[in-house]
Structure 1
């Protein structure tokens, strides 16, 4: 019922949002007589702010048309490398007729960015993609809004997420380097662990950034909510059915508008201050600052619905049972054993001021991946960086990215090798606390 009420409210506000936008321009356009009335700048700024607070935000585009490779601007084309019901594997293909740049690009390492399925679209990692394109061949997971997936596509569980990641890795090839940002650190570690257990060739490197490998360490407000509420509470309070006006009508989801409310509630004062500053920037005519605000909130306010099965699985497996670190997690009936990973180098990255994945949560991957030689395990603390700062913005570009680039480059001469398959697991597995 709540989802239907939200859709009704959105439909009612849509005309008002368009009216506010048009009226704002009426009071700001130099040829309009209303633009020369007293307080016109404040009226225009207020109407523009009303428009942005009441409009619907659609999925943004990556809009990456060029990349700089060795001082040469090359063309970038976005391609769909593989398509699944709940995700598209995108490739950013680079083109140039500059022979020197072309020669460099052929030698560049291949990277798979596994974007989070946790509310925002994969375009949130636009800055991550843009930086990596300078020195890498780049793929990224582009998760589909669950409300757009018809019911006949079936459910989508956390196990399916792990399977998707494995399929993408196999499609790209053994030369791939995997980067997981936030939520996917857990399923990515599971996917690579299972590949190693089965004797498959695993990626050359895996970089894990700001993720809840062990959510018990330095728990944040996000962790506390997941740990202090029962599984039934989540099932009965945040799961709703998609309304009839979407292709996924009837699908059980964790709606994007509820997630967005949670994002804002974490830092309400910051968002209120940001919108007031936007109003003042418009009044002052500071176009650059106003554009920066629009760019950020166009991305931040664009959210997607998550499949209910996947969301509830994640709550239980990652934040309540701590199944990965306790050694009890089974994916499609097979135990997840990070200690079976032998040939993949590991880099973990944490932000000093991360208020979503606390200190030590990502670094915990080293305690699990005991099969990786210590000389191939690395950790980096991004001083002064919050959660988003480790993959977007100035600190990402100037501090974090050079570390990631160097780490990947230093392991490209490692010959891909398959791990020796272990003996078939027993029907009953005795768990051990770690």
Structure 2
């Protein structure tokens, strides 16, 4: 009933939200003399904060219509090239000059952890000038009818393998946060089968490969409770009239509540500052707040079977680092990986995936040659900074590009050598 109550509360707030928005527009109208007073600006600011705090945020857009390749503005077209019930594959197709050498083909596997793939907009934007980018666009589970069947961690791994087959040889895969485990598992399964389409390299960023190392609050919560507690307390049926009516899900609003409670004081301060910026007519600062929270507050539901299997396998059993993970009856053996280069990236202040949890991939992938592996720990960034922000663009993205070019199976010479985080 909790999901239904949440929906009823949202519906009950709709008239108040509409009234607040109308009053905000009235107080901001330059024809209204009150709009030029402190009272008018404060009233408009308070009404906007109320409206934004009570609205439901829809799926954002990537909005990447252009990039810069070799110093030239280059149009970008967003195109769905592969479809499945729970995922679309988006290609950021660049209109390149004739005769330009091919850039590395990169599959970014976005996390299925409550936010949309657009959370990685900054990741795509930073890599797009140097790479041919594809990204998994996971579907909101409440929008998928029951007739489409179930989706669990095994299905997730299957999707990654199917997409790698679709993209063909010499594809580089990047797993950001949660996908680190299924991406590594997919690579291990493909290598065990001597699959010629196994990825040329995999980059794992801020992922929970071994959560026994420096466990965070998220990891400790999973270990303190049995899986039955999660099934009984956070799994709910999708309410009518959503397309996924009666599908059992882990609702996105619960995930968001958990994330916000971890840094509640920071979010409260951010909204207080947003109010002050609106009163001062500081448009740039207010726009930055809107841009961040339009993305952060847009959440999606996860299928119950995927969520529970992930909690159990990754966070409770630690099956992958123990060598006990099984995919459709077959053991996932990281030591089978021999031809896939491995880059791991961590953030010094990551409070979601602790320092060392991602680097653990090197410990379990023992048969990757030393010259095909690399680890980088970015100082002074948290979880979000591992894949977004100025330090990602300046320090991490160039390393990823250089690593992928160095380990392409049909590689051309690497023109950029990364030394001390800067292009030489």
User: 1: CA distance between counterparts of 2:249 and 2:49?
Assistant: 30
Q: Which residue of 2 aligns with 1:5?
A: 5
Query: 1:33, CA displacement in angstroms?
Result: 3.6
Alpha-carbon contact 1:328-1:336 (below 8 Å) kept: yes
| 1:12-40 superposed Cα distances (whole Å, 9 cap, x missing partner) | 11222222122112111211244245511
Q: Which residue of 1 aligns with 2:297?
A: 301
Q: Which residue of 1 aligns with 2:124?
A: 129
**Would you say how many aligned residue pairs link Structure 1 and Structure 2?**
410
Question: Are positions 1:239 and 2:239 aligned together?
Answer: no
Query: 1:103, CA displacement in angstroms?
Result: 3.4
Question: Are positions 1:95 and 2:91 aligned together?
Answer: no
Q: Which residue of 2 aligns with 1:430?
A: none
| 1:210-260 superposed Cα distances (whole Å, 9 cap, x missing partner) | 000001000001101111111100000000000011000000000011111
Q: Which residue of 2 aligns with 1:418?
A: none
Query: 1:385, CA displacement in angstroms?
Result: 1.1
User: 2: CA distance between counterparts of 1:162 and 1:219?
Assistant: 25
Give the one of 136, 142, 145 matched to 1:147.
142
Give the one of 178, 185, 193 matched to 2:180.
185
Alpha-carbon contact 1:14-1:56 (below 8 Å) kept: no
Aligned ranges 1:81-230 → 2 under 5 Å: 81-96=81-96, 99=97, 102-104=98-100, 106-201=101-196, 202-230=198-226
Give the one of 330, 338, 343 matched to 2:334.
338
* TM-score normalised by the chain length of structure 2: 0.95
| 1:54-102 superposed Cα distances (whole Å, 9 cap, x missing partner) | 1110010001100110111111111111100000011110114xx3xx4
User: 2: CA distance between counterparts of 1:222 and 1:409?
Assistant: 35
| 1:139-198 superposed Cα distances (whole Å, 9 cap, x missing partner) | 000000000000011111100000000000110012100000000000010011000111
Gaps of 5+ in 2: 412-424
Give the one of 273, 276, 279 matched to 1:280.
276
SS in 2 for 1:27: helix
* TM-score normalised by the chain length of structure 1: 0.93
Alpha-carbon contact 2:38-2:279 (below 8 Å) kept: no
Question: Are positions 1:80 and 2:80 aligned together?
Answer: yes
SS in 2 for 1:108: coil
**Pairwise CA RMSD of aligned residues?**
1.1
User: 1: CA distance between counterparts of 2:91 and 2:172?
Assistant: 14
User: 2: CA distance between counterparts of 1:194 and 1:412?
Assistant: 20
Query: 1:319, CA displacement in angstroms?
Result: 0.5
User: 1: CA distance between counterparts of 2:163 and 2:145?
Assistant: 22
Alpha-carbon contact 1:353-1:385 (below 8 Å) kept: yes
User: 2: CA distance between counterparts of 1:191 and 1:87?
Assistant: 16
SS in 1 for 2:254: helix
Aligned ranges 1:380-399 → 2 under 5 Å: 380-399=376-395
Q: Which ranges of 4 or more aligned residues in structure 1 deviate by more than 6 Å? A: none
| 1:334-355 superposed Cα distances (whole Å, 9 cap, x missing partner) | 1100110111100000000100
Query: 1:199, CA displacement in angstroms?
Result: 1.2
| 1:298-332 superposed Cα distances (whole Å, 9 cap, x missing partner) | 00000000000000000000001111011111101
Alpha-carbon contact 2:57-2:298 (below 8 Å) kept: yes
Q: Which residue of 2 aligns with 1:19?
A: 19
User: 2: CA distance between counterparts of 1:29 and 1:132?
Assistant: 42
Say which is worse superposed, 270-279 or 47-56, in terms of deviation.
47-56
SS in 2 for 1:39: helix
Give the one of 361, 384, 403 matched to 2:399.
403
Alpha-carbon contact 1:204-1:414 (below 8 Å) kept: no
User: 1: CA distance between counterparts of 2:68 and 2:301?
Assistant: 35
SS in 2 for 1:378: strand
